[in-house]
Amino acid sequence: MRRSDAGRLLAVVFVAAVVVSGAWILRRLVGDVELSVEDIAAVLDPNAVPEGLEVAYPRDGTLFPPEIVAPTFRWRASGSQAWFIDVNLTGAAAVQAVCYSPQWRPSGELWRHIKANSAEHNATVTILGVTRTRRPRILTGARFAIRTSGDRVDAPIFYREVNLPFIDAVKDPSQIRWRFGSIADEQAPPIVLTGLPVCGNCHSFSTDGSVLGMDVDYSNDKGSYAIADVNEEMVLADDAIITWSDYRRSDGVETFGLLSQVSPDGRYVISTVKDKSIFVPRPDLAFSQLFFPFQGILCVYDRQTGAFASLPGADDPNYVQSNATWSPDGRTIVFARSRAYELKTPVTRGKVLLSPEDCDEFLGAGKPFLFDLYRIEFNEGKGGIPQPLKGASNNAKSNFFPKYSPDGRWIV
């Protein structure tokens, strides 16, 4: 190799080395900087309104129970490498933090401080997406309010843990797990029921928690339902099973007995009978099951007498009446109602899960099906005249899954 060629080669190597080392130095100076709260506070404009950041949880205006453990704040990354969190508290020290992934969970101590100082006033949360540089630049932001309630939950929660999409859970219901625990526990609630070989779904308790009712597909009867006293260990044996199919069995109309609810005193159970529903699995994990009834009436089971009877005022076959819930005193029923419907494509008797073709008018053509909430006196099973619930009826929306507050003053 000639000396001139070697010189040029060395020059190229030298330039490459300078470029590489310069890039390395630049990364050390510019990228992957460990930011402090003070670094970001120095470039904040207190009058600027942050925007462009989408917060997934919690939502603006979220009200947290006072005993709940710290939540995880989550947002969309949106191109930032670091985020600054500021929780502004009236009359108390703010909570501030920097993180490098699009989520943040305050420590137990910080969360107790936030809750203690957000009961009387909102806590204002600001999240800013920033560059991870020596002098950070603010790229995006969001601001929202949270608050701590003065009312405790003061009760454990019993719930299902279902594998998704829903069609997978249907194929093997034994994989569904039931958990029972408090929102005040840091650990995941313990599993109390697993390996159930049949589908178990809608469940409810009496007010004092002494009676449990649960939909179960027992002995190939879609109308079967379990009622049991709550104990340390519970066995759902034959004597704990009733079937909603026993209501007017002779008329030959099928019953699935969906959306049942135990009365506050544990004596009665109310359910939907002579029912037909849209029940379609979907591939979308976020919404993998489309379900709503389009026929059905309300029926009451009396545990003392063992008798089934329709509830007058909520048993008109011209309407679908379903999704009933009890007032805390057991005197009133609130339920969802709409005009009954017949599918254009007749459904095979006994078929529960429908195909998209079975209900094309809803999935393909986009036909709406809206419910209104109605209130009716229970009157020891004698019923009454249903009255539309103001604010949850005739509002061009679908109103369903009503629940009373424990004091009976509010309906969600």
What are the tens digits of pLDDT across the range 177-203? 999 999 999 999 999 999 888 888 889
| 349 or 246, greater pLDDT | 246
- 383-387-393 Cα angle (round to 5): 135
pLDDT for res 350:
66
**Mean pLDDT comparison of 10-19, 25-34, 111-120, 219-228, highest-scoring range:** 111-120
Residue 352 confidence (pLDDT) above 90: no
pLDDT above 70 coverage of the chain, percent:
91
Q: CB-based burial of residue 137 (10 Å sphere; 0-12 exposed, 13-18 middle, 19+ buried)?
A: exposed
pLDDT for res 357:
82
pLDDT for res 377:
98
Residue 321 confidence (pLDDT) above 70: yes
**SS3 letters across the chain:** CCHHHHHHHHHHHHHHHHHHHHHHHHHHHHCCCCCCHHHHHCCCCCCCCCCECCEEECCCCEEECCCCCCCCEEECCCCCCEEEEEEECCCCCCEEEEECCCEECCCHHHHHHHHHCCCCCCEEEEEEEECCCCCCCEEEEEEEEEEECCCCCCCCEEEEECCCCHHHHHHCHHHCEEEEECCCCCCCCCEEECCCCCCEEEEEECCCCCEEEEEECECCECCEEEEEECCCCCCCCHHHEEEHHHCCHHHCCCCCCEEEEECCCCCEEEEEEEEEEEEEECCCHHHCEEEEEEEEEEEEEECCCCEEEECCCCCCCCEEEEEEEECCCCCEEEEEEEECCCCCCCCCCCCCCCCCCCCHHHHCCCCCCCCEEEEEECHHHCCCCCEECCCCCCCCCCCCCCCECCCCCCEC
Question: Is 156:182 a contact under the CB 8 Å cutoff?
Answer: yes
Closest to 68 measured CA to CA, from 118, 102, 143: 118
The least confident of 193-197, 292-296, 369-373 is 193-197
How many CB atoms lie under 10 A from the CB of residue 199?
15
**139-186 pLDDT tens trace:** 999 999 999 999 999 899 999 999 899 888 888 889 999 999 999 999
Question: Which distant-in-sequence residues (6+ apart) come within 8 Å of 95 by Cβ?
Answer: 85, 86, 87, 89, 106, 110, 113, 114
The least confident of 9-13, 172-176, 278-282, 310-314 is 9-13
pLDDT for res 21:
43
Give the pLDDT band (50/70/90) at residue 41.
Answer: confident
**60-78 pLDDT tens trace:** 999 999 999 999 999 998 8
Mean pLDDT computed over 268-280: 93
Residue 7 confidence (pLDDT) above 90: no
Mean pLDDT computed over 78-87: 93
CA 104 to chain centre: 21
Mean pLDDT computed over 289-299: 93
| 364 or 216, greater pLDDT | 216
The least confident of 143-152, 288-297, 311-320 is 288-297
Residue 353 confidence (pLDDT) above 90: no
Give the pLDDT band (50/70/90) at residue 346.
Answer: confident
pLDDT for res 5:
53
**Mean pLDDT comparison of 88-102, 169-183, 334-348, highest-scoring range:** 88-102
pLDDT for res 199:
81
Residue 3 confidence (pLDDT) above 80: no
Mean pLDDT computed over 22-47: 69
Mean pLDDT computed over 1-14: 46
Question: Is 180:156 a contact under the CB 8 Å cutoff?
Answer: yes
Q: What is the dihedral of CA 167, 170, 172, 174, to 10 degrees?
A: 130
Mean pLDDT computed over 390-404: 97
Domains and CATH numbers, the chain: 37-148 (2.60.40.10), 198-388 (no CATH)
Backbone angles phi, psi at 330, to 5 degrees: 75, 5
pLDDT for res 367:
87
pLDDT for res 30:
46
pLDDT for res 14:
42
Question: Is 73:104 a contact under the CB 8 Å cutoff?
Answer: yes
Instruction: Classify each residue of 356-382 as buried b or exposed e, where b means 16 or more C-beta atoms within 10 Å of its C-beta.
Output: eebbeebbeeeeeeebbbbbbbbeebe
Separation CA 18–CA 165 (nearest Å)? 54
Question: Is 296:276 a contact under the CB 8 Å cutoff?
Answer: yes
Q: CB-based burial of residue 18 (10 Å sphere; 0-12 exposed, 13-18 middle, 19+ buried)?
A: exposed
pLDDT for res 116:
97
pLDDT for res 347:
75
Q: Record the tokens describing residue 16, joined without a space.
A: 């490459």
pLDDT for res 28:
43
Q: Record the tokens describing residue 119, joined without a space.
A: 């009961």
